[in-house]
Amino acid sequence: MSTICFSLVVNLSYNIFVMLQVVAVIKSCTPNGLGDMTVTLKDPTGTVSGTIHHKVLTEGDLRKGTCVGSVLILHKVSVFSPSRSTYYLNITKRNLVKVHILFSVVLFKCLL
Protein backbone atom coordinates (compact mmCIF):
# COMPACT_ATOMS: atom_id res chain seq x y z
CA MET A 1 0.00 0.00 0.00
CA SER A 2 1.30 3.43 -0.91
CA THR A 3 1.32 6.40 1.43
CA ILE A 4 1.81 10.02 0.53
CA CYS A 5 2.41 13.26 2.43
CA PHE A 6 -0.76 15.24 1.74
CA SER A 7 0.60 18.51 3.13
CA LEU A 8 2.50 18.92 -0.15
CA VAL A 9 -0.32 17.83 -2.48
CA VAL A 10 -2.54 20.05 -4.63
CA ASN A 11 -5.81 18.43 -5.73
CA LEU A 12 -6.45 18.94 -9.48
CA SER A 13 -9.42 16.60 -9.84
CA TYR A 14 -11.00 13.51 -8.31
CA ASN A 15 -8.03 11.21 -8.91
CA ILE A 16 -5.14 13.40 -10.11
CA PHE A 17 -2.93 15.40 -7.76
CA VAL A 18 0.34 17.33 -7.97
CA MET A 19 3.06 16.91 -5.35
CA LEU A 20 4.92 20.19 -5.01
CA GLN A 21 8.19 18.60 -3.89
CA VAL A 22 9.47 15.04 -3.51
CA VAL A 23 12.85 13.93 -2.15
CA ALA A 24 13.01 10.15 -2.19
CA VAL A 25 15.35 7.18 -2.46
CA ILE A 26 14.86 4.59 -5.21
CA LYS A 27 14.09 1.28 -3.45
CA SER A 28 13.55 -0.74 -6.64
CA CYS A 29 13.56 -0.15 -10.37
CA THR A 30 12.43 -2.33 -13.26
CA PRO A 31 12.41 -1.41 -16.96
CA ASN A 32 9.12 -1.98 -18.75
CA GLY A 33 8.60 -2.92 -22.38
CA LEU A 34 7.92 0.67 -23.49
CA GLY A 35 11.31 2.13 -22.54
CA ASP A 36 10.03 3.63 -19.29
CA MET A 37 11.06 2.44 -15.84
CA THR A 38 8.81 1.42 -12.97
CA VAL A 39 10.23 2.51 -9.61
CA THR A 40 9.40 2.29 -5.94
CA LEU A 41 10.37 5.44 -4.06
CA LYS A 42 10.81 5.80 -0.30
CA ASP A 43 10.78 8.94 1.83
CA PRO A 44 10.16 9.50 5.56
CA THR A 45 6.37 9.47 5.01
CA GLY A 46 6.27 6.07 3.26
CA THR A 47 6.66 4.43 -0.13
CA VAL A 48 5.02 5.05 -3.48
CA SER A 49 5.23 3.46 -6.92
CA GLY A 50 5.90 5.47 -10.02
CA THR A 51 6.97 5.51 -13.63
CA ILE A 52 9.97 7.38 -15.01
CA HIS A 53 9.36 8.51 -18.59
CA HIS A 54 11.78 7.14 -21.20
CA LYS A 55 13.02 10.64 -22.15
CA VAL A 56 14.24 11.15 -18.57
CA LEU A 57 16.26 7.95 -18.90
CA THR A 58 17.72 8.79 -22.32
CA GLU A 59 18.04 12.60 -22.28
CA GLY A 60 17.87 13.69 -18.64
CA ASP A 61 20.19 13.42 -15.66
CA LEU A 62 19.14 9.81 -15.10
CA ARG A 63 20.95 8.69 -18.26
CA LYS A 64 24.09 8.58 -16.07
CA GLY A 65 22.61 5.63 -14.26
CA THR A 66 19.47 4.88 -12.37
CA CYS A 67 19.93 2.41 -9.58
CA VAL A 68 18.65 1.41 -6.19
CA GLY A 69 19.95 3.84 -3.60
CA SER A 70 19.93 6.91 -5.85
CA VAL A 71 18.10 9.95 -4.46
CA LEU A 72 15.69 11.89 -6.67
CA ILE A 73 14.70 15.49 -6.04
CA LEU A 74 11.49 16.24 -7.91
CA HIS A 75 9.02 19.11 -8.12
CA LYS A 76 5.43 19.41 -9.35
CA VAL A 77 5.04 15.67 -9.88
CA SER A 78 1.69 14.38 -11.15
CA VAL A 79 0.14 11.73 -8.94
CA PHE A 80 -2.54 9.39 -10.25
CA SER A 81 -4.81 7.79 -7.68
CA PRO A 82 -7.11 5.08 -9.03
CA SER A 83 -8.36 4.43 -5.48
CA ARG A 84 -8.12 6.12 -2.09
CA SER A 85 -5.22 3.93 -0.96
CA THR A 86 -3.19 3.62 -4.20
CA TYR A 87 -0.97 6.31 -5.73
CA TYR A 88 1.39 6.37 -8.70
CA LEU A 89 3.88 9.12 -9.56
CA ASN A 90 4.41 10.11 -13.18
CA ILE A 91 8.02 11.40 -13.43
CA THR A 92 8.99 13.44 -16.51
CA LYS A 93 12.00 15.59 -17.47
CA ARG A 94 10.14 18.69 -16.30
CA ASN A 95 9.80 17.20 -12.77
CA LEU A 96 13.44 16.22 -12.27
CA VAL A 97 15.45 18.76 -10.27
CA LYS A 98 18.49 16.69 -9.28
CA VAL A 99 19.74 13.13 -8.98
CA HIS A 100 22.22 12.05 -6.32
CA ILE A 101 23.91 8.79 -7.23
CA LEU A 102 25.83 7.10 -4.45
CA PHE A 103 29.54 6.84 -5.23
CA SER A 104 29.69 3.27 -3.91
CA VAL A 105 26.85 2.24 -6.23
CA VAL A 106 28.57 3.83 -9.25
CA LEU A 107 31.90 2.21 -8.32
CA PHE A 108 30.18 -1.18 -7.95
CA LYS A 109 28.54 -0.83 -11.38
CA CYS A 110 31.92 0.07 -12.92
CA LEU A 111 33.56 -3.01 -11.43
CA LEU A 112 30.99 -5.37 -12.96
User: Could you tell me which of 59, 111, 57 has the C-alpha nearest to residue 26?
Assistant: 57
Judged against a pLDDT cut of 80, whether residue 102 lies above it is answered with: no
80, 48 in Cβ contact below 8 A? no
Number of domains in the chain: 1
Q: Is 23 exposed, middle or buried (0-12, 13-18, 19+ CB in 10 A)?
A: middle
* Segment holding 103, helix H or strand E: helix 103-111
| 22: CATH | 2.40.50.140
What integer pLDDT is reported at residue 103 of this predicted model?
A: 60
Range(s) of the domain holding residue 95: 6-111
pLDDT, tens digit (0-9, with 9 covering 90-100), for 69-100: 888 999 998 888 887 778 889 999 999 898 88
Domain-embedded: residue 69:
yes
DSSP code for 64: G
95 belongs to a structural domain? yes
The answer to whether residue 45 is domain-embedded is: yes
Q: Considering the domain boundaries, does residue 1 fall inside one? A: no
In a domain, 41, yes or no: yes
Please tell me the pTM assigned to this model.
0.75
Q: Is residue 102 part of a domain?
A: yes
Q: Per-residue pLDDT tens for 41-61?
A: 998 888 889 999 888 888 766
